[in-house]
Amino acid sequence: MNRLERIKQIEEILLANNKGWTRAELAGGGLIWSGWISEPTEMVPWVRSWGDQVQVLEGVVL
């Protein structure tokens, strides 16, 4: 899956589940997503499914 496909997949998932989120594409091809999650522990399996392609910057639970 290329970078644009990954970004589109992330946006589709997050748009379906959260409102009021923001995102910023990084020059190196990364993506920073920010938003309020009412139950962060529900995100853990999804975040882990990305393996070393994801880094959680904030959110102690995640």
Taking residues 3-29, what's their average pLDDT?
Answer: 74
Residue 59 within any structural domain of the chain: no
pLDDT tier at 18, thresholds 50, 70, 90? low
The answer to whether the Cα torsion of 62, 46, 32, 12 is positive or negative is negative
pLDDT of residue 62: 64
**Which backbone phi and psi does 31 adopt, to 5 degrees?**
-140, 130
Higher pLDDT, 45 or 15: 45
**Which backbone phi and psi does 30 adopt, to 5 degrees?**
-85, 175
Residue 8 within any structural domain of the chain: yes
**Which backbone phi and psi does 6 adopt, to 5 degrees?**
-65, -45
For the stretch 26-62, pLDDT in tens is 888 787 878 777 788 888 888 888 888 888 888 766 6
Q: How many helices (H) and strands (E) does the chain have?
A: 2, 2
Q: For the chain, how many structural domains are there in total? A: 1
CA–CA distance, 12 with 57 (Å, rounded to integer): 21
- Is 0.85 topped by the overall pTM? no
Residue 58 within any structural domain of the chain: no
Identify the domain containing residue 46 by its residue range: 3-53
